[in-house]
Chains A and B, each alone.
Chain A
Amino acid sequence: MHARTVCHAVGALLCCLAASMAVPLGVGLWYGDAGVWPLFHSLWATGLAGSLLMLGWRRGRDWSLNHREGIAIVALGWLVAGVAGGAPYVLAGICGWTDALFESVSGFTTTGASILTDIEAVAPSLLFWRSFTHWLGGMGIIVLSLAVLPFLGVGGMQLYRAEVPGPTPDKLKPRIKDTAAVLWQVYLLLTLAQTGLLWAGGMNLFDASTHTFATLATGGFSTRNASVGYYDSPFIQWTITIFMFLAGANFALHFKVLQGRPGALLRDAEFRFYAVLVAGATLVIAAGLYSGHYADAESSLRAAAFQVVSICTTTGFATADYEVWPHLAQGLLLFFMFLGGCAGSTGGGLKCMRVMVLLRLAHQELFRLVHPRAVRHLKLGGRTVPPDVVSGVVGFFVLYVSVFAGVGIILTALGMDVLTAFSATASCLGNVGPAFGSLGPTENYAHLPGLAKWLLSLCMLLGRLEIYTILVLFLPEYWRR
């Protein structure tokens, strides 16, 4: 492995990150709040560290990236981004490093699990940065760098594969730089649209933009203690529901629709699966809520749709405390924490595509008992899924469940009750945010022991980078030449 290549690229990444800190700094200067100096110090320190790494290990003539460097750059890049992103919270004296890292990793991985007990007391510029880390991490800090840094183009596919969610990331354009740029254009367009709608719907511009960042990245940080529930406006809640749903769909499909091919959405098998599941669960839960919890049909439907979409896309916003809902509703929500959005979306979880592959695989095994000699291919949307992709999906599922079980058991050893421990693990691994038990939508993660916070931060990174990218670093073979 070429340490030099990795250092240079990570340095470049830090420089990009430092530049992005200028945005919340501008917000701070506008409000003249207490976040200005912490952000300013974080900015120059990140920029300096980045430039030192970049200049210290210049890229030579033989610049190249293979699988190993790609994995190292993405994994290391996300780790240093977590540290740099947490610095403003520590410098502002809000919390210590453990909490700051938890908050920052939760931001970048679009989890939305928070350790802040009183969000509204924090300076606006820091809240803006908190939501902005969602937005950067949602489409991917690496994908952003691919669009901006031309030298990453060679071997960029390795980086792209290591960061973009889904078993087989597609290229939308022949060149990786153009693909990354197109994805960010779609993302930006949706961001502008939603901010405009929320603003028009009565939010102020600050809340509109921060909630948009958290929605489209499927993050879940709000600037209000009561999350989206603070806004008692059906228009705002429906807008956020729809955009969360869009953010959980494959961005390649959005691109096709924007190109003038709206049929692409309905033709996509994964999108149909996703839409049917979300709609079905919404109706079931709404029926349950209508008989006892809400007075009218619209508000039960709205509450159910909002919470189903919020959990399924792994956003984690809340308009109601679902822990007082019927048990069936809670069970469905817990299941949706594992499901996640579509491949190629900003959502976390297992992803619909993988679940579909696993279901088809299970069906095929049953079918084989009836027709032992049948020759059948595993097909998805009319296309055969290559055997190496299938085995990759199975491996992913096994690792996902193993990490879930392992971390959950350790958390119970730390004294947490079973429901809280396992739902928190599922929630962080799926980048959702709120869990059950003592970590429900109205509570936060501040009261957890330090070790639990570190483990859950690791889970968020594992979930966001799709397990393999981080776990492979623990493989001895990875480090052998």
Chain B
Amino acid sequence: MAFFRRQPQSEQLKIVIIGAGEVGFHIAGRLSRENKQVVVIDQNTDALRRVTDAMDVQAVQGSGSSPSVLSEAGADEADIVLAVTDSDETNIIACLFANAIAPDAVKLARIRNEEYTLYHDALRGDALRISMLINPEVEVVRTIDRILSVPGAVEYGEFAGGRIKMAGIRVEEGPLVGQKLMRFREIVGEGAIMVAAIVREERLIIPTGADVIRQGDIVYFVYDEGTRPALLASLAREERIIRHALIVGGGNIGLRLARLFERKGYHTKLVDRDAARCTHLAEQLDTTLVLHGDGTDQALLREENVAGMDVVVAVTGDEETNILSCLLAKSMGAAQTVTRVNKAEYQPLVRAIGIEHSVSPRLSAVNSILHFVRQGKVLSSISVRGDEAEAMEAVAQAHSAIVGKPVSQLDFPSGALLLAVLRGDDVFIPRGDTVIRPQDRIIILSTRQAVSRVEQALMVSLKSF
């Protein structure tokens, strides 16, 4: 009697998430809203209750590194196993048993210890077959790097190996302010550039020609490198070259960031409160000036000429220190600041109190994991406005629904927008009569409600497999 053995819904991915902490919570939330089958494993019943109260997922109580708990969670049917607890060792062991129970499942482990990361080949090997290691500290350094690369950008990401870029920029002034989007081309020119979305008063707008850009909006642009000057001109922003940087907090993230800044040739100063840690940092770093002191100490900041800094990044483990030192630096004349804020709940608040850029290691990790989950159909993706929408890059498959018809005749889900096409070396903005060809790379913006339908539209119909 195998009546109920397996449901034939092949499009419903089954994902087992081990660890219901901040990372697990947010990934589970995102995936469950996209109609995926999500099972969350954690030892802590309170953490599990928080998950089951907020979203439609199955919760299993137990240790994720225990094979019996994994079987109970149905790991044998899982397509993807995400091990994202706080403990590297638990994550590796969980992947070991997941590999034994479900050899076909794709596995991802959150690993913070650099030692392990360096030996990814060993973990990728037959014993574990972990497809991806994710280190929140590395991810957040990448995020900071991306934000700093475009002036005024709140969010920034790249598609097609850097050929197409997307940036969410806060509009303060310039010729675009107060104009309808119909007149966008007159102002910016005929290049490969397009408005993907507007965020106004914390709400996402999928724009039409009649929408007006207002001061204070965060506008998401999709563009290629050639149109960058025109874009910055239309927003009255100048290319800002970073020469001097100050990092507050010399933990793992601060150290990684300092190394990155060194490579980029910035004059970097790093402040840390712990004398022993400072000695260690000074040993590790070459050109960076390591200072022993408090990031919220006004005298120290003045002494070290914070007014002349092009960027101040506060990445200590303590949110209050980060926020205070950034506010202080800003008021003392620093050009821009980046603040590490761990709790996702604080993100909307951060803008209200005047912090320009906030980053969170966990949210950065969540975004990277989501890109990974989308692998296959979707090459990469960038979230817009927390998680209300997502920009996805995909290769148009020969038999999928979007190929071979003019764009205006496509049965595209509402809430989704075709932003850009990369054909060979050409980047262009699709018009009504554009026909998408197989192997084109396309960038699509989709609200989170429409994500699953967009994924379906991108899928090759099952018969052709």
Q: Which residues of A approach B to under 8 Å, CB–CB?
A: 66, 153-154, 156-158, 171, 173-178, 182, 185-186, 189, 255, 257-260, 386
Contact = CB atoms under 8 A, between A and B. Distances in A.
Contact of A153 (B5, B52, B56, B58): B56
B53 interface: yes
Contacts of A258: 1, 3-4
Size bracket of the B interface: 20 to 34
Contacts of A189: 3
B14 A157 contact: no
Contacts of A386: 45
Given A158-B53, A173-B58, A258-B3, 8 more contacts: A66-B53, A154-B56, A171-B58, A171-B59, A174-B14, A174-B56, A175-B37, A260-B1
Contacts of A156: 56
Given A185-B4, A259-B2, A259-B4, A173 B56 contact: no
Nearest to A157: B52
Interface string B281-294: 00000000000000
Interface in B197-217: none
Contact of B5 (A177, A178, A185, A259): A259
B37 A174 contact: yes
The 10 closest A-B pairs by CB, nearest first: A174-B37, A174-B58, A171-B58, A259-B4, A258-B3, A258-B4, A176-B56, A174-B39, A153-B56, A260-B2
A182 B57 contact: no
Interface string B1-14: 11111010000001
Interface string B57-75: 1110000000000000010
B38 interface: yes
B37 A182 contact: no
A386 B32 CA distance: 27
B5 A174 contact: no
Contacts of A257: 1
A178 B37 contact: yes
Contacts of A259: 1-5
A148 to B, nearest CB: 16
Nearest to A65: B53
Nearest to A154: B56
Interface in B28-45: 32-33, 35, 37-39, 45
A386 B52 CA distance: 17
A157 B1 contact: no
Contacts of B39: 174
Contacts of A158: 53
Nearest to A153: B56
Contacts of B3: 189, 258-259
Contacts of B32: 175
Nearest to A171: B58
Nearest to B33: A154
A258 B1 CA distance: 6
A178 B38 CA distance: 12
A158 B19 CA distance: 23
A255 B4 CA distance: 8
Contacts of B74: 174
A156 B52 CA distance: 10
A259 B57 CA distance: 21
Nearest to A176: B56
Contacts of A157: 52-53, 56
A158 B39 CA distance: 18
A182 B45 contact: no
Contact of B38 (A154, A174, A185, A260): A174
17 contacts: A154-B55, A156-B56, A171-B58, A173-B37, A173-B58, A174-B56, A174-B57, A175-B35, A175-B37, A175-B57, A176-B56, A178-B37, A182-B4, A186-B4, A259-B2, A259-B5, A260-B2
B56 A260 contact: no
Contacts of B53: 66, 157-158
A191 B360 CA distance: 53
A379 to B, nearest CB: 15
Nearest to A158: B53
A255 B56 CA distance: 20
A153 B54 CA distance: 11
Contacts of B35: 175
Contacts of A174: 14, 37-39, 56-58, 74
A124 B52 CA distance: 45
A357 to B, nearest CB: 17
A221 to B, nearest CB: 29
Contacts of B1: 257-260
Nearest to A161: B52
A175 B36 CA distance: 8
Contacts of B56: 153-154, 156-157, 174-177
B387 to A, nearest CB: 14
Contacts of A185: 4
B10 to A, nearest CB: 14
Contacts of B5: 259-260
Contacts of B37: 173-175, 178
A72 to B, nearest CB: 17
Contacts of B59: 171
Nearest to B203: A61
A386 B48 CA distance: 14
A257 B1 CA distance: 8
Contacts of A171: 58-59
Contacts of A153: 56
Nearest to A155: B56
A174 B32 CA distance: 9
Contacts of A186: 4
A158 B54 CA distance: 10
B37 to A, nearest CB: 4
B136 to A, nearest CB: 25
